[in-house]
Structure 1
Amino acid sequence: MFDEEPLTEGCGEVLAVADHACIGVSPFNSYFSTTRLTELARWASERFGSCHFFIPDTVSAYTMEALGYAPERARHKARRQGQYTYNKVMTALCALDVPEPQQRVLGMERLSGNQRYCELLAAATALFERDAAFRVACLDATHWVLDRKLARGATPTCEQLRLAVRYFLAELPLFTDSGGIAAAGAGRGGGSMFVYHQRVAFLERFYAGLLPWKPAPGQGFLVVSEPQPEQAEPQQGHVEPRRGRAEPPVLGETKVASR
């Protein structure tokens, strides 16, 4: 159903014993259609003992502020898009008759009352403020996100990075210990995999143990993607026509124009 690629060798070791998956779902990203979310939910239900979906809903406002939206407007759009994303996830879970589907979704309101999440967020934020190497790594990751959303040729300013990094820090606890936050795997000795469809340079360094901030024991990251169709062998003597180079699409990323 999906191709699986552990982000690092250590993540592969976690995958071998993992019994929980936390699927990251980005608001404003058209990759996460209801159909694809249903496929992800079915795959995760069959592949792991339990699964959750993480939606960084309200914190999307930080990124939108960095892109030039007024704070109130950014919060409104983040709430609206977050609810839309939540509804799609719920539709997917209900289509599969998942018991208590609302308990499978981790949004920011629910996480704000989660002790493990709050502990990790406070610790990561404190490390960001005091450790230069960690701060640079987080800002670099945020730069990568903003680069994909700004108009072609634009470069994020220091102020934009400082605004948008709050979104990244809000996600970091889930990369660090999604199993502990979801209270999954307790008593079973299994691990937890954070699941997404893209590789991120920061996370490759993070899961390889190359940053001051480390993942919890038994935490991994899994890149999932749809299998690519096999290409038929060209017939003897047949020459494929030359095509112009195409830029790869970035699903769900919208260049910012004047508002």
Structure 2
Amino acid sequence: MFVIEPLTERCRGYLPTATHVCIGVSPFNSYFTTPRLRRLADWALTRFESVHFFVPDMAAAHTLRALGYDLDRARHKARRQGQYVHNKIVTALRALGVENPAGLVWGMDRLHHTPRYLTLFDEVHQRYEADESFGKACLDASHWVLEHKLPPGTTATEEQLREAVRYFLAELPLFIDAGGIAGHRVSFFVYHQRVAFLERFFSRELSVRPTSGQGFLIVREPARDRADEQLRTEAVPVQEAARGLG
């Protein structure tokens, strides 16, 4: 059903003992159709003891602000799109017979009431401010996101990057210890793309590192299946989001 690729050899070593998986779902990315989410959920529920979906819903307001939205509109748009994505995940899980499917979805509000997440959130922000090399790596990751959203020939300003990086910093605790947040020792974070920052992060090249037992899996459908899916892709309800926000 899926091509499974551990990001590093260390990650590969966690496969036999991992009991938890957290699937990242970007709010403004049309890749995450309801049928695809259902297939992902089916794979995850079959393979792992515990499953969560992570939607950085309200954190997406920072990316929107970096793209020029005023504060109120950015928050409204992020909230509306976040709810839409939450509903798609719940629909996918309910179709598989999951009881209380909403309980398997982590949004920002829920995470901000989770002690382990809050601890990591504070630590990440402190390191971002104190460690120039780590801070630059985070800004570079945000630049990668913004360069696909800005008009051709436009480069993100420092002000835009410093706003956009707040989205990335909100995600980082999940890369560090999604398992610990869920109460599991060995865990994988799942996404369908390689990201240069995460290559370095899970290779333990940065001053902030994943906890022992936290891995990363690239999980994607074979190319032929992806091409077929493109023909059936659901329209994103927010018109401006058609290009996606990562």
Structure 1 and Structure 2 fold alike (TM over 0.5): yes
**What residue in structure 2 maps to residue 210 of structure 1?**
205
> Residues of 2 paired with 1:97 and 1:124: CA distance?
37
Question: 8 Å contact 2:28–2:244 — kept in the other structure?
Answer: no
For each residue in 1:93-136, what CA deviation from the matched residue of structure 2 results, as whole angstroms up to 9, or x when unmatched?
10001122111000001001000000000000000000000000
1:87 aligns to 2:87 (yes or no): yes
> Residues of 2 paired with 1:228 and 1:76: CA distance?
35
Give the counterpart of 1:254 among 230, 243, 246.
243
**What residue in structure 2 maps to residue 54 of structure 1?**
54
Question: 8 Å contact 1:150–1:255 — kept in the other structure?
Answer: no
**What residue in structure 2 maps to residue 64 of structure 1?**
64
Question: 8 Å contact 1:116–1:181 — kept in the other structure?
Answer: yes
Question: Which segment drifts farther, 118-127 or 5-14?
Answer: 5-14
Q: Pairwise mapping of residues 162-173 of structure 1 onto structure 2 (< 5 A)?
A: 162-173=162-173
For each residue in 1:36-75, what CA deviation from the matched residue of structure 2 results, as whole angstroms up to 9, or x when unmatched?
0000000001111111000000010000000000011000
Amino acid at match of 1:254: R
Structural RMSD (CA): 1.6
Cα pair distance change 1:32/1:255, threshold 3 Å: closer
Identity of aligned residues (%): 58
> Residues of 2 paired with 1:56 and 1:114: CA distance?
15
Question: 8 Å contact 2:22–2:178 — kept in the other structure?
Answer: yes
**What residue in structure 2 maps to residue 118 of structure 1?**
118
**What residue in structure 2 maps to residue 130 of structure 1?**
130
> Residues of 2 paired with 1:96 and 1:31: CA distance?
20
> Residues of 2 paired with 1:135 and 1:201: CA distance?
15
> Residues of 2 paired with 1:111 and 1:229: CA distance?
36
**Displacement of 1:153:** 1.2
> Residues of 2 paired with 1:76 and 1:220: CA distance?
33
Structure 1: gaps (5+ residues): 231-250
> Residues of 2 paired with 1:99 and 1:194: CA distance?
23
Q: Per the alignment, in what secondary structure is the counterpart of residue 204 of structure 1? A: helix
**What residue in structure 1 maps to residue 231 of structure 2?**
none
> Residues of 2 paired with 1:54 and 1:33: CA distance?
15
**What residue in structure 2 maps to residue 109 of structure 1?**
109
Amino acid at match of 2:24: G
Question: 8 Å contact 1:151–1:255 — kept in the other structure?
Answer: no
Q: Per the alignment, in what secondary structure is the counterpart of residue 194 of structure 1? A: strand
Amino acid at match of 1:197: H
> Residues of 1 paired with 2:244 and 2:48: CA distance?
37
TM-score scaled by structure 1? 0.86
**Displacement of 1:255:** 8.1
Structure 2: gaps (5+ residues): 226-235
Amino acid at match of 2:203: A
**Displacement of 1:14:** 1.4
> Residues of 2 paired with 1:121 and 1:162: CA distance?
16
Q: Pairwise mapping of residues 235-254 of structure 1 onto structure 2 (< 5 A)?
A: 254=243
Greater gyration radius: 1
Amino acid at match of 1:172: L
**What residue in structure 2 maps to residue 97 of structure 1?**
97
Query: How many residues matched?
Result: 231
> Residues of 2 paired with 1:150 and 1:205: CA distance?
25
**Displacement of 1:253:** 6.2
Give the counterpart of 2:193 among 185, 193, 198.
198
**What residue in structure 2 maps to residue 15 of structure 1?**
15
Identify the structure with the greater helix proportion.
2
> Residues of 1 paired with 2:39 and 2:191: CA distance?
13
Q: Per the alignment, in what secondary structure is the counterpart of residue 97 of structure 2? A: coil
**Displacement of 1:229:** 4.2
Q: Pairwise mapping of residues 153-168 of structure 1 onto structure 2 (< 5 A)?
A: 153-168=153-168
For each residue in 1:193-232, what CA deviation from the matched residue of structure 2 results, as whole angstroms up to 9, or x when unmatched?
00000000100100001000010110000001112349xx
> Residues of 2 paired with 1:96 and 1:72: CA distance?
37
TM-score scaled by structure 2? 0.91
Cα pair distance change 1:16/1:53, threshold 3 Å: same
